């Protein structure tokens, strides 16, 4: 898998961002160069100062021209070659920057910053295999610096080493958790790893239960319910004792209103996984929709025994108590939900209805106002999400 080339605008923006990221390298080089220059003849000292100011002020063409003069006067000066390479890089003359950095490292092998810049020059000229060893070294030496980590992850992605890319881009996200580029490329690498694995699965086991399960999931995402059901049934036939398949098929049937089929699948799942709280909850939900209240209560209670914090089961249990006329039990259950999950607006609305019917207007008003506030927040979040999608 590979990445598309950046367009001109993205490249320009990336280069501007890069200026701030290399400032630590630049400062290190300039201080060394200026200190050494002070010990040389006045002409070299003046040129060094002029180049330093031009580079600092981002007048890269002028800086490059001055450093070209300096390396003619002092061809053995590694730092001058490195700063010449930096000026060339900032001009976008990546191919010409490479020999300048190579020469700098030949003269001064300890210039680790020049190694990073050489790696980035290779990256910019699509020589990713040459960039990777240098970036690997830099990412090890500069563990807290996202620059080398970022470009190493991107270089791996460029050459199709997707699992290595995902590992490195995950580190980038750890270093810069709010960086949208880091999150984007981590997601991209993860999708490539997933696609690679699925493609390999298709090649080595095209008729396996996992392949049928994968096909079922894809069909379900595309809205092809019947085809998805068929694939789940094939997966179950191939691996009848595997937990999770009946649950997935039951969930699909429940989402499509096929309650009898969903009930059968959840019952089968519980034969294989009798301590699965989610399966007990969903089976109870099916019974509740079918008005089989005793069986619904049994399954929902069992789900909560296994997982007391299962909020959806508590909401269903409150509905069940309401249907049974057990108002006090319903209120107590819903109050527990609002304490544990105050953002669940349906709990506040159910409480509003119960308080209203019980002629408790003050309590009913509080719950209705809370419900309306949460509903407005939900609508605002949906609107913001739509706006963001339009900007992408």
Average pLDDT over residues 275-299: 97
Q: What's the pLDDT score for residue 369?
A: 96
Q: What's the pLDDT score for residue 34?
A: 47
Same domain, 218 and 240: yes
Q: What's the pLDDT score for residue 196?
A: 87
Q: What's the pLDDT score for residue 37?
A: 46
SS3 359: coil
Q: Is residue 1 part of a domain?
A: no
Same domain, 147 and 284: no
Please tell me the distance from the alpha carbon of residue 131 to that of residue 159, in angstroms, as a whole number: 11
Q: Is residue 156 part of a domain?
A: yes
**pTM assigned to the model:** 0.62
Average pLDDT over residues 172-193: 93
Q: Is residue 69 part of a domain?
A: yes
User: How many Å separate Cα 349 from the centre of its chain?
Assistant: 34
Q: What's the pLDDT score for residue 281?
A: 98
- Cβ–Cβ < 8 Å for 311, 341: yes
Average pLDDT over residues 270-277: 96
DSSP state of 4: P
Q: Is residue 222 part of a domain?
A: yes
Q: Which residues contact 49 (CB under 8 A, 6 or more apart)?
A: 34, 37
Q: Is the pLDDT of residue 1 over 50?
A: no
Same domain, 167 and 30: yes
C-alpha neighbours within 13 Å on the C-beta side of residue 44: 17
For the stretch 66-97, pLDDT in tens is: 989 888 888 888 888 998 999 999 998 999 99
Q: Is residue 333 part of a domain?
A: no
Please tell me the distance from the alpha carbon of residue 75 to that of residue 264, in angstroms, as a whole number: 82
- In the chain, what percentage of residues exceed pLDDT 70? 88
Same domain, 80 and 213: no
Average pLDDT over residues 284-290: 98
SS3 92: coil
C-alpha neighbours within 13 Å on the C-beta side of residue 157: 26
Same domain, 195 and 219: no
- Cβ–Cβ < 8 Å for 229, 253: yes
- CA distances 385 to 124, 177, 367, 382, Å, are 34, 20, 27, 5
Q: Look at residues 87, 84, 85 and name the one whose alpha carbon lies nearest to residue 70.
A: 84
Please tell me the distance from the alpha carbon of residue 155 to that of residue 135, in angstroms, as a whole number: 9
Q: Is the pLDDT of residue 7 over 80?
A: no
| Choice between 61 and 26, residue whose per-residue pLDDT is larger | 61
Joined together, the tokens standing for residue 89 give: 């890089």
Q: Is the pLDDT of residue 13 over 50?
A: no
Q: Is residue 326 part of a domain?
A: no
Please tell me the distance from the alpha carbon of residue 144 to that of residue 135, in angstroms, as a whole number: 14
Same domain, 95 and 180: yes
- Range with the lowest mean pLDDT among 56-70, 220-234, 363-377? 56-70
Q: Is the pLDDT of residue 249 over 80?
A: yes
Q: Which residues contact 293 (CB under 8 A, 6 or more apart)?
A: 287, 320, 323, 324
Give the residue numbers spanning the domain of 191: 8-199
Q: Among 279, 308, 337, give the residue marking a domain's end.
A: 308
Please tell me the distance from the alpha carbon of residue 252 to that of residue 254, in angstroms, as a whole number: 5
| Choice between 48 and 214, residue whose per-residue pLDDT is larger | 214
Q: Is the pLDDT of residue 21 over 80?
A: no
Q: Is the pLDDT of residue 230 over 90?
A: yes
Same domain, 179 and 245: no
Q: Is the pLDDT of residue 348 over 70?
A: yes
Which burial class, exposed, middle or buried, applies to 107 when counting CB atoms under 10 A from its CB (0-12, 13-18, 19+)?
Answer: middle
Same domain, 133 and 258: no
CATH at 70: 1.25.40.10
- Cβ–Cβ < 8 Å for 105, 137: no
- Cβ–Cβ < 8 Å for 169, 181: no
Please tell me the distance from the alpha carbon of residue 278 to that of residue 280, in angstroms, as a whole number: 5
Same domain, 43 and 128: yes
Same domain, 119 and 227: no
Same domain, 47 and 192: yes
Same domain, 102 and 154: yes
| Choice between 73 and 307, residue whose per-residue pLDDT is larger | 307
Q: What's the pLDDT score for residue 389?
A: 55
Residue 372's pLDDT band (cuts 50, 70, 90): very high
Q: Is residue 354 part of a domain?
A: no
Q: Is the pLDDT of residue 58 over 70?
A: yes
DSSP state of 362: H
Q: Is residue 390 part of a domain?
A: no
- Total domain count for the chain? 2
Q: Is the pLDDT of residue 331 over 90?
A: yes
Please tell me the distance from the alpha carbon of residue 51 to that of residue 56, in angstroms, as a whole number: 8
Phi, psi of 126 (to 5 degrees): 65, 25
């Amino acid at each position: 898998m590979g990445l598309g080339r950046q367009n001109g605008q993205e490249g320009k923006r990336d280069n501007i961002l890069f200026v701030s990221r290399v400032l630590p390298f630049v400062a290190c080089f300039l201080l060394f160069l200026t200190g050494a220059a002070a010990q040389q003849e006045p002409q070299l000292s003046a040129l060094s100062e002029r180049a330093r100011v031009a580079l600092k002020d981002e007048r890269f063409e002028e800086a490059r021209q001055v450093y070209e003069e300096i390396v003619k006067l002092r061809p053995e000066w590694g730092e001058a070659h490195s700063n010449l390479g930096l000026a060339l890089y900032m001009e976008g003359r990546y191919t010409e920057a490479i020999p300048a950095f190579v020469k700098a490292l030949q003269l001064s092998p300890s210039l680790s910053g020049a190694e990073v810049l050489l790696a980035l020059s290779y990256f910019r000229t699509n020589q990713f295999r040459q960039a990777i060893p240098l970036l690997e070294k830099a990412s090890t030496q500069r563990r807290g610096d996202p620059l080398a980590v970022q470009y190493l992850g991107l270089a791996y992605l460029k050459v199709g080493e997707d699992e290595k890319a995902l590992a490195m881009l995950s580190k980038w996200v750890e270093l810069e958790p709010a960086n949208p580029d880091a999150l984007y490329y981590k997601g991209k690498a993860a999708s490539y790893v997933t696609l690679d694995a699925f493609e390999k699965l298709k090649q080595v086991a095209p008729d396996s239960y996992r392949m049928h399960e994968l096909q079922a999931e894809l069909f379900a995402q595309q809205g092809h319910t019947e085809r998805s059901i068929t694939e789940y049934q094939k997966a179950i036939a191939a691996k009848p004792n595997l937990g999770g398949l009946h649950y997935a098929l039951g969930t699909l049937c429940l989402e499509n209103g096929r309650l009898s089929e969903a009930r059968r699948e959840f019952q089968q799942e519980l034969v294989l996984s009798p301590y699965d709280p989610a399966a007990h909850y969903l089976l109870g939900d099916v019974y509740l929709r079918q008005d089989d209240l005793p069986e619904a209560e049994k399954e929902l209670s069992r789900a909560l025994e296994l997982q007391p914090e299962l909020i959806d089961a508590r909401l269903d249990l409150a509905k069940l108590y309401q249907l049974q006329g057990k108002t006090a039990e319903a209120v107590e259950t819903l109050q527990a939900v609002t304490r544990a999950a105050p953002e669940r607006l349906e709990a506040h609305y159910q409480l509003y209805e119960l308080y209203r019917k019980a002629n408790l207007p003050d309590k009913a008003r509080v719950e209705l106002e809370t419900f309306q506030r949460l509903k407005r927040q939900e609508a605002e979040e949906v609107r913001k999400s739509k706006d963001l999608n339009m900007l992408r």
